[in-house]
Amino acid sequence: MDFNDTPEQAAFREAVRQWLNANARPKREGESRKSQAALFDEAKVWYKKLADAGYACLDWPEEYGGAGLSQIHKVIWSQEVAHYAEPDGYFVIGIGNCGPAIMHFAPEEQRQALLPRMASAEDVWCQMFSEPSAGSDVAGLRTSAVREGDTWTVNGQKIWTSGAQHSDYGIVLCRTDPTVSKYRGLTMFYIDMHQSGVEVRPIKQMDGDAHFNEVFFNDAKIPDAQRLGEVGEGWGAALLVLMNERLAISGVQPDGFPEFLALVKQLDLGEQPAREHPAVRERLADWYCQHAGIIASTNRMLTAVAKGGMPGAEAALGKLVGAAMNQDIAHYALQLMGEGGSIMEPDMAEQQAHFQRALLFAPGIRLAGGTDEVMRNIIAEQVLGMPQEPRADKGLAFCDIPSGNAG
C-alpha cells in the first residue's frame, strides 16, 4: 500500500486546505461544549456550505449532489478538516448509511429528488433497524408491514435510532412475511418521519444528551413506491447498509489516543509530569500501537474500496479495537485526573470534560454498528475461516421460532 499522495491528490489536498482556511473555524482551547440543538443547527449550515462549494459527499455522483470523486479524496478531506472545529461528521448516518440504500434500490426519479437534498442536509435521514428484541440479531425484528393494494401499513417499535428526533426521513426494515425464514421475510422502505403514525421519543443518556430515540409505528402508511428493493429481499439491502455504516463510521469513530496524548503532555502527577511517569508511558506506548494499527487497517480497507471492493473485516477490526480502546483510555484518563475527573462542567474541567463525556458515551459507541461479539464473529468467520455459530432457528419459519414474546 502506497499512502503518498499522487500529484492529483496533492493538488486536491492543497485546494481543500485553502478552502478550509478561508471558510472553517479553527479549533480553540477552552471552547465551551455546545448543546445537541446548537450542534444540529451548526451542522445544517456547514453541510449547506459544503454543498455550495462542491465538497459535499465527495464520492457520490455529481447528479446526486456529490463531487464524483473517490474514497481516497474522502480520506484526504477527513485528514484536513480534523484540524477545524466544524461538525463535519454530524450527518454521517444519513449520508453514509441511507444514501447508499437510496442509490442502490430507489428508482432514478427518487434518487434525483432525494439524494441532493440529503447531501446538503436540507433533509436529514436516520436508520431504523434495532428493536427491543432484535439488536445484534437484526433479522429477528418484529415490526410488521402488511400490504393492502399499493400501500403498506406498518406497526411496531424501533430503538437506539440515532438522530430520529431531527430527521425528515428514515429507512426502516420490516417483516413482511413471517411464514418464511427470518432472513427471507424482510423488506426495506423509506418513510416520512413527520407523517401520522410515527412517534419519536428521545432517550435521555447518562451524559445528559439524547442522541438515541425510540420510534413507534402505529398504523403508519407507506406507499409501495417507497419500497427499497424487492419484497422479501430486505436482508440483502440491510447488509449493504451495515457494510456502508462500518465504512462511514471508520472515519469518525474515536479511539481516544490523540486526546489522551494531549492530556499527558499537560498533566502533572504530583510534582512529576505525567509524561515522565513509567506507568503512563507504558500505557501511552501500548495505545499508540493500537492507534497506528487502526489507521493502517482503515487505510487498507479504503484502498480496497477505492479499487471497487467492499468494506470487509478490516472495518470490524477497527471498530472492535477502537471502541474498546476509547473506553479504556477515558477510564484511565479520569483516574489520572483524580478528583478533577469528577467535574462535568466544561469550563472547569481538563479538556472541557472530554474524557468524562467519552466514558459515559463509550457503551453507545461499542454498540453502534454492531457489538463487540458481532465484530468478533465477523473476524472469526471472514479472517480466520472459522465455522458459523450454531443457530437454533435454522430451517424454521420466523413464526415457528420459540420466543419469550409469544402470547
Position 46 scores a pLDDT of: 95
Average pLDDT per 10 consecutive residues for the chain, totaling 407 residues: 76 96 82 70 94 93 93 85 87 90 95 96 95 87 96 97 94 96 95 98 83 95 97 92 71 78 90 91 94 84 69 77 92 91 79 84 81 88 86 82 64
Q: Is residue 358 part of a domain?
A: yes
Distance CA 90, CA 165 (A): 14
The DSSP-derived string for 276-300 is G-HHHHHHHHHHHHHHHHHHHHHHH
Judgement on whether residues 266 and 345 belong to the same structural domain of the protein = yes
DSSP 8-class letter at 264: H
86 is catalytic: no
Judgement on whether residues 258 and 327 belong to the same structural domain of the protein = yes
Distance CA 182, CA 184 (A): 6
Number of domains in the chain: 3
Are the CB atoms for 337 and 330 separated by under 8 Å? no
Judgement on whether residues 310 and 362 belong to the same structural domain of the protein = yes
Judgement on whether residues 157 and 38 belong to the same structural domain of the protein = no
CATH for 202: 2.40.110.10
Judgement on whether residues 322 and 287 belong to the same structural domain of the protein = yes
Type of residue at 129: F
Could you tell me the three cell numbers for 194? 413527520
Distance CA 292, CA 227 (A): 42
**Given 90, 115, 147, which residue is the final one in a domain?**
90
Are the CB atoms for 246 and 320 separated by under 8 Å? no
Q: Is residue 242 part of a domain?
A: no
Q: Is residue 217 part of a domain?
A: yes
Catalytic residue among 80, 86, 131, 245: 245
Distance CA 98, CA 111 (A): 12
Distance CA 357, CA 354 (A): 5
Position 407 scores a pLDDT of: 43
Q: Is residue 158 part of a domain?
A: yes
Per the structure, the complete domain to which residue 330 belongs is given by 253-382
Position 253 scores a pLDDT of: 63
Q: Is residue 21 part of a domain?
A: yes
Judgement on whether residues 225 and 177 belong to the same structural domain of the protein = yes
Q: Which of helix, strand or coil describes residue 252?
A: coil
Q: Is residue 396 part of a domain?
A: no
Judgement on whether residues 310 and 201 belong to the same structural domain of the protein = no
CATH for 339: 1.20.140.10
Helix (H) or strand (E) holding 268: strand 268-269
Distance CA 221, CA 152 (A): 6
Which residue reads 463509550 in cell numbers?
362
Judgement on whether residues 43 and 149 belong to the same structural domain of the protein = no
Judgement on whether residues 192 and 281 belong to the same structural domain of the protein = no
Position 348 scores a pLDDT of: 79
Judgement on whether residues 227 and 258 belong to the same structural domain of the protein = no
Judgement on whether residues 270 and 323 belong to the same structural domain of the protein = yes
